[in-house]
Amino acid sequence: MSKVTIKDRDIADKDFLTTFAKGLEVIKSFNEETPTLTVSELANKVGLSRAAARRFLLTLSKLGYANQNNGQFNLSARILDLGYSYLASLNFMDRVNPIIEQVARDLNESCSITVLEDKEIVYIARASRNRLVSMNLQIGARLPAYVTSTGRVFLSGLSDVQLEAFFEDEPCPKLTVHTKTAKQTIAEIKKVRAQGYCLVNQELELGMSSLSVPVYNRNNQLMLALIVSCNALSISSDEMLQRILPVLQAASKEIALVLP
């Protein structure tokens, strides 16, 4: 999960509310590794005094966004309201969801839609099928852009200068034996620009391949990326390009018609 980073230039900005930013950091400190936190644990994790950490947690609790039990705090279901506010603002999704559902039915593979946020892609819609892909890719899931097919689709929209800048401080850790280096990844992204799709084979997780295409709005702005993830042991890359790519490309054009 990405971390809210408060920079010196932000603090110096008179319009920047440091306390609000810290509050977001507190919320995001609850994750899969730390679903519950004590005051001391939160203070150490976020860099707060114990008194400040306690005030943040008690405020979240009083607003209904956190639960407390014997000194342990965890987020409540009400926190989902924040995410649903974003999804509700995407007022075109009620017309997009049936399209990806149809793709999933036609291919018998899970189909999803992602957006790019900083250096990560975020899943905002998904039509699931019970296939042998172990990674949990539900709505809200985040993955590093450099090693995902949808991430590379989004990065293909950057100029060469922007692309080099993106990878200047991107460590690009090797996640599997197939993960490409930063230099190789940049070359792959430039290929995506020319071919209009991206296929990633087992670079993120062994046994998982994914194929993505861009979705543009009527002003030719890249807004979304459409992805199908498959078990690499069940379908070859060539078969993905022959069988899945045409379906994704047709769905991309259909989605484009309902975008604002």
Q: Which helix or strand (DSSP H or E) is residue 143 part of? A: strand 142-144
With bands split at pLDDT 50, 70 and 90, how would you rate the model's confidence at 2? very low
pLDDT, average across residues 184-207: 96
pTM equals: 0.76
Beta pairing, strands 120-127 & 142-144? antiparallel
pLDDT, average across residues 68-87: 84
